[in-house]
Amino acid sequence: MITKILVCVVYFSVVFYLGYKGWKTTREASDYMLAGRRMHPFVMAMSYGATFISTSAIIGFGGAAGLFGFSLLWLTVANVFIGVFLAMTVFGKRTRRMGLCLNCHTFPELLGRRYDSSFIQGFSGLIIFLFIPVYAAAVLIGISRMLEVSLNIPYDWALVGMTLILALYVVTGGLKAVMYTDAFQGTIMLVMMAVLLIFTYTALGGVTQAHQTLTDMAAMMPEKLQKGGMIGWTQGAQFGSPLWLVIYTTIIYGVGIGVLAQPQLAVRFMTVRSDKQLNRAVLFGGIFIPMMTGVAFIVGALSNAVFTARGGELSIVEAGGNMDKIIPAYIEQVMPDWFAGLFLLGMFAAAMSTLSSQYHVGGTSLGRDVIEHGLFRRNVGTARASRIGVSVTILATLVWAWVLPGSVIARATAFFFGLCAASFLPIYLLGLYWKGMTKAGAKVAMLGGFGVSMLWLLFVHEKEAAAIGLCRWLTGQSTLAAWAEPGSWVWLLQWVDPNVVALPVGFLLAVAVSLGTQPLRTEHLQRCWANF
């Protein structure tokens, strides 16, 4: 315990020093929101990766792998190809160039100025501000559960303590402080995950033996998961079953595609000086991402074999049925004591790097995009308004972390990723590549994608619709698909992610409305494409 505390003290000393360095060099609005557009590609890539991968990926989705097994590795493939390669080459370069042409400081501002619409900037900023606390709460829950298991700190105390620590440097230091600390934290995460992977395979007699052991355990799959369609941890789920739909539509498709429209990630493309630096960042990100998600998913699945080999229960049972506790329980009960301190450090890094970015983007969305340049258009000072917005985002996150139920980390993350994809991805992608995209097309697509996503979540998708209860209150059924015959395609819609329906609707609306409405002024389009 003393070792863990000393390690934490050293870690936080470095973090606060880097936060202080960011605060000392933050002079203007561009410093606070875009780190002065002068970040080194390594810092940018590590910040991007550390923001992308958090405790929601390692603890939440790692715990989900304890249930669903190696199927989740398809998400790692999507993370590398879509979240790094396509994001930085297809989206990143044009985002950087257009953001420079239009002097944009935030993701909603990029969308608003591309379509010459304060409504688009304000409404997109409002979506981010209102819903990113749910995603941030998932990350905060992850590190608080780790502190609860590792240091025996009461869960509520851990929530408040982590919130206060992050508030100290995010509110004052802006994006410079966030990115400096991200790069440091990302490096710690890399070392920690490498050790975790090696130790796990060694404990099971090597890669081949470990995978064979897990394969042979298929008969031990819990009955509830078997009824949902799971065959085994290496075999995956039966095609078309409820759990197959959860794995492939919500986790792999929803999160894998949703990363392209994450505001806290997209804004990082505007922090470097050239396209060449983005190319260099692809290499760093291509190594970092699989070492994070790939290792977490492999260890999460193999934890079942390790716990069983040690004469215990499956990891799901060991964690008391809460999959958010699987990875913390594995670290504390299986790994050596010295590694528990290192892992705790890595989880601090994962949580703080993502939370700081979430707080920052939520605050700037309220301050700059909703109040100053969007729906209200009140000149109150960008930095001051953003700091107020960050403070409100932090408080909202703390409240959500208190009220959300257990085993919610992966689900809350998937919800925010999917909502951003449905609302923003059509107008973001088409806005970067198609000059024929109109203001009306962008408005209708954004509102349509957001509306369909929320309606599906409230009335069709089983997890959220049943928990919220609005559908039951209005119709007497937990979801609109619950009345259908079990096993029918209508009944299975309860496990189809909202993004599967909402994202295509958004693209169709964007194209159809743009083809039938007046294009933007020629001089405005020339300004948007001045650097292309």
CB-based contact 186:47 (threshold 8 Å): yes
How far is it, in rounded angstroms, from Cα 374 to Cα 121? 5
Q: How far is CA 467 from CA 132, 448, 472, in A?
A: 19, 24, 10
443 within some domain: no
**Percentage above 90 pLDDT, the chain:** 32
Bridge partners (DSSP) of residue 236 are 232
Helix, strand, or coil here: 375? coil
CATH number at residue 244: 1.20.1730.10
pLDDT in tens, 433-465: 999 999 999 999 999 999 999 999 999 998 888
pLDDT band at 25 (very low <50, low <70, confident <90, very high): low
Q: Which two tokens stand for residue 233?
A: 């941890």
Q: In total, how many domains does the chain have?
A: 1
How far is it, in rounded angstroms, from Cα 436 to Cα 513? 11
Of 34, 12, 32, which Cα lies nearest the Cα of 24?
32
Of 42, 180, 137, 199, which Cα lies nearest the Cα of 394?
137
The alpha-helical segments, DSSP class H, found in 434-520 are 439-459, 462-468, 470-475, 489-492, 498-515
**Model confidence at 173: pLDDT above 70:** no
Span 106-115, mean pLDDT? 93
Helix, strand, or coil here: 532? coil
171 within some domain: yes
How far is it, in rounded angstroms, from Cα 379 to Cα 119? 16
pLDDT at 447: 97
pLDDT at 34: 46
Bridge partners (DSSP) of residue 230 are 237
- What is the pTM for the complete model shown? 0.82
pLDDT band at 467 (very low <50, low <70, confident <90, very high): confident
* Domain boundaries, position 377: 2-22+30-425
The torsion angle over the Cα atoms of residues 122, 127, 131 and 132, rounded to 10 degrees, is -60
- Non-local CB neighbours of 531 within 8 Å, separated by 6+ positions: 97, 98, 100, 101
320 within some domain: yes
pLDDT at 30: 46
CA atoms within 13 A on the CB side of 387: 13
pLDDT band at 212 (very low <50, low <70, confident <90, very high): very high
pLDDT at 282: 77
Q: What is the largest CA-CA distance in the chain?
A: 72
How far is it, in rounded angstroms, from Cα 344 to Cα 530? 47
229 within some domain: yes
Torsion sign across C-alpha atoms 432, 435, 437, 440? positive
CB-based contact 182:46 (threshold 8 Å): yes
Helix, strand, or coil here: 221? coil
How far is it, in rounded angstroms, from Cα 479 to Cα 470? 9
**Model confidence at 24: pLDDT above 60:** no
CA atoms within 13 A on the CB side of 11: 25
234 within some domain: yes
450 within some domain: no
DSSP letters spanning 303-343:
HHHHHHHTTS--HHHHTTT-GGGHHHHHHHHTS-HHHHHHH
462 within some domain: no
Q: Is 275 exposed, middle or buried (0-12, 13-18, 19+ CB in 10 A)?
A: middle
Greatest mean pLDDT among 125-129, 188-192, 311-315: 125-129
Helix, strand, or coil here: 466? helix
pLDDT in tens, 304-360: 999 888 776 677 766 656 787 888 888 888 888 777 777 777 777 667 767 777 887
- Non-local CB neighbours of 489 within 8 Å, separated by 6+ positions: none
Q: Return the H-helix or E-strand segment holding 413.
A: helix 409-433
Q: How far is CA 506 from CA 42, 187, 512, in A?
A: 35, 38, 10
pLDDT band at 2 (very low <50, low <70, confident <90, very high): low
pLDDT band at 9 (very low <50, low <70, confident <90, very high): confident
User: Terminus-to-terminus CA distance in the chain, angstroms?
Assistant: 56
pLDDT at 432: 94
Helix, strand, or coil here: 460? coil
Read off the DSSP letter of residue 519: P
How far is it, in rounded angstroms, from Cα 294 to Cα 58? 9
476 within some domain: no
CA atoms within 13 A on the CB side of 346: 27
pLDDT at 210: 94
